[in-house]
Structure 1
């Protein structure tokens, strides 16, 4: 470990303005709810940009809105003229250093524009909490997105910074802007817990303003989940460390709480209730976010692997990134004995009803994905409803065609083994790639009919293979459940056949 620390320190201190981008933020200098950011630029920098959008959000946020008083200086300290090109971009030709102020996104109602979902934003509370999604604080030099970066963060005495990136004497070092901003930082008075699951070190860091919920309680709640996910992924995690960064709050602004995934961490903004009330919610949300270590970390298209923070090109495969991830989050809990088959089917029933009632049932998912930022932005929520049902159907189809021997969890392991974190697939070739990997010819027709086109999913046919029925609500069944109107449902067959029960056992076990 000492050798590793020395190497990192050597990198930090030997990185010159010629070959790296260096940021410095002193949390002790909070003034008028703003932080000051100092930037050492590489030689030849001409344009400094803030993100228009960031991975995982599927919304235009324009983080440059929160920046003010940006000043540039040359190597002698002389002021350099700055020209703002647009809301997110500044022309800084001749500058070697920048200084600017940033407002936090959680508490700046005076700034016009779309309110930023809390897990993607920032909050500055002196001596209490600093929620730092660094994409909302630091920018990048246009054309140098892949250059090494470092962030020096000065933390107030008595507070602790938690992140998936290890800091060395207050320095966070990353191989690129995207890598740095993929690792949010939570600064608060210490309430952390550590878990060891397989070879992975898992950090849970919690801010609960009234200390209603503790990191140790969350750790106890999610440990069985993590062990289940470990088995679901074949016995090992594709990461050696991971951070759950959790902010509990009594103040809801946007109309919803939630979380945002990152490659080796996830950031949560949740209501401050005790563990008895919040335990199952934390487990469900954590299950989904944690599974993003598989997609997109270890399996992603060029659109994500080379993400464009200014002019993003959307992937057509939200059914994979969000839908299949949501299905796996429920399936792993079922396989691990954390939920019952009745609870699983109730969750799928809710998704089927919401998909039909709240969204356009006939909209092809590839079209939804490509238009998620604009034309179909109001349909985005269906990735967690119909998207999960697509994953459910694909899993059952694969098992049907392989006599139960192969499903989506094995498929994702095989795909991740072919690609991994640094290799991207071509977006338009995914369906062919899955067919080639699974050796199940029927998947191509499935994708053509139910993902590339908006045909009704074959749920009734496929759940029948595991001894379940799917159809209109029976007359004696409840019409309302968990706040939604139930019209269709999954339910147990009266007399499932031995072959159906055998297939169910294969689906229920790792």
Structure 2
């Protein structure tokens, strides 16, 4: 085997390959914020293997694919006794110690992170949508029902905002919480087609309420953009050589605008409170480069990380202005409709499964 670049290897005489064995390291040992520590961000796209506590598993960190060969996947986990794998693509038990996950493609597999821990879960039913809330917390047990009660009115408001129907049949909130310093709050979330993985740090669970409400509301709205409304760069995402479109202002800006607009439209806050949120975003956006357009920043998202947070500020206000202008152009006539989503993953050709075994 020859390592070609950061994420790929060339296997000589691969036609004879029957089994490939390798080990992987986790991408973060513990979710704790240290000022100036490199790699602090985007841990929700990584994995952590923590014996006797929890395993946060993103398949992109330990499962690969053979270029040019689209095959179904079967992943087997050897799990510790008493652990439960929470995911929208839930691991199914083969026996007392082994679970299996099956997916039609690499894309579908990567779209379903897993939280393995001792069970702390709750279920919500909202119309036709079944919602799983799974939690691992370093400070408490059996807190998922309380968390579910916090999320329920928000999801009901989002359901009304989206026309009376949530855009998925099932959804999973996977929440990992670590105790942080007094006054320290940190959140890292990554949305998927039918789940959100949230990594949170705060002094305790009880003081998370408002912080978690904003984070989960924003991440859930990503089901609309970009997971259903998106450019060809996302529809045909190239995992090896990703390219960035000019539309991150839509994906993050519209999602953030929907998050704050839903609150006022569904009467979760007053008009003065809504205006205060807008004024706060207008003030904060002044610290960023106003000569850099939202479309250009979208293309440079990875290299201009110092400007990224402006999508949540100027991007949200941009979409507010777009909303106002569209209402002006339409004479304030607009139609309410439900968003319906379906998985558009490519159909895998018939052939042998790519099977991976992973022992925690």
Using structure 2 for the length normalisation, give the TM-score.
Answer: 0.85
SS in 2 for 1:153: strand
Q: Distance in 2 between matches of 1:255 and 1:379?
A: 21
Deviations 1:263-294 (A, max 9, x none): 11001111244454211111111110001111
**Structure 1: runs of 5 or more not aligned:** 1-81, 425-510
Q: Is the 8 A contact 1:213 1:272 kept in 2?
A: no
Match status 1:137 vs 2:40:
no
Q: Distance in 2 between matches of 1:311 and 1:352?
A: 35
Equivalent position of 1:480 in the other structure: none
Equivalent position of 2:33 in the other structure: none
SS in 2 for 1:327: helix
Q: Distance in 1 between matches of 2:47 and 2:345?
A: 31
Match status 1:163 vs 2:87:
yes
Higher relative CO (Cα under 8 Å, sequence separation at least 6) belongs to 2
Match status 1:196 vs 2:125:
yes
Match status 1:99 vs 2:18:
no
Q: Is the 8 A contact 1:200 1:237 kept in 2?
A: yes
Deviations 1:306-338 (A, max 9, x none): 111121110110111110001101111222222
Equivalent position of 1:149 in the other structure: 73
The equivalences for 1:394-413 within 5 A come to 394-406=322-334, 410=336
SS in 2 for 1:100: coil
SS in 2 for 1:101: coil
Equivalent position of 1:238 in the other structure: 167
Equivalent position of 2:105 in the other structure: 176
SS in 1 for 2:311: helix
Q: Is the 8 A contact 2:252 2:315 kept in 1?
A: yes
Q: Distance in 2 between matches of 1:295 and 1:257?
A: 20
Q: Distance in 2 between matches of 1:276 and 1:247?
A: 14
Equivalent position of 1:83 in the other structure: 2
**Distance change in 2, residues 1:305/1:250 (3 Å):** same
| Deviation of the 1:251 alpha carbon | 4.9
Residue-pair matches, total: 331
Q: Which of 225, 247, 261 is the aligned partner of 1:331?
A: 261
Q: Is the 8 A contact 1:212 1:273 kept in 2?
A: no
Equivalent position of 2:245 in the other structure: 315
Using structure 1 for the length normalisation, give the TM-score.
Answer: 0.61
Q: Which of 305, 310, 318 is the aligned partner of 1:377?
A: 305
Deviations 1:383-427 (A, max 9, x none): 1111111111111222233343328xx5xx68x66x964399xxx
Q: Distance in 1 between matches of 2:221 and 2:200?
A: 19
Q: Distance in 1 between matches of 2:245 and 2:345?
A: 16
Q: Is the 8 A contact 1:297 1:421 kept in 2?
A: no
SS in 2 for 1:379: helix
SS in 1 for 2:20: strand
| Deviation of the 1:167 alpha carbon | 2.7
Which structure has the larger Rg?
1
| Deviation of the 1:377 alpha carbon | 2.9
Q: Is the 8 A contact 1:106 1:116 kept in 2?
A: no
**Structure 2: runs of 5 or more not aligned:** 31-36, 94-98, 347-360
Q: Is the 8 A contact 2:139 2:205 kept in 1?
A: no
The equivalences for 1:51-130 within 5 A come to 82-92=1-11, 93=14, 94-107=16-29, 114-115=39-40, 117-130=42-55
Q: Distance in 2 between matches of 1:272 and 1:393?
A: 35
Deviations 1:45-86 (A, max 9, x none): xxxxxxxxxxxxxxxxxxxxxxxxxxxxxxxxxxxxx12222
Equivalent position of 1:208 in the other structure: 137
Match status 1:393 vs 2:317:
no
Q: Distance in 1 between matches of 2:141 and 2:79?
A: 25
Q: Distance in 2 between matches of 1:138 and 1:392?
A: 40
| Deviation of the 1:177 alpha carbon | 0.6
Equivalent position of 1:218 in the other structure: 147
Q: Which of 349, 361, 364 is the aligned partner of 2:290?
A: 361
Q: Distance in 2 between matches of 1:266 and 1:299?
A: 18
Equivalent position of 2:353 in the other structure: none
| Deviation of the 1:160 alpha carbon | 0.8
Q: Is the 8 A contact 2:189 2:197 kept in 1?
A: yes
| Deviation of the 1:113 alpha carbon | 7.5
Which has the larger helix fraction?
1
SS in 1 for 2:173: strand
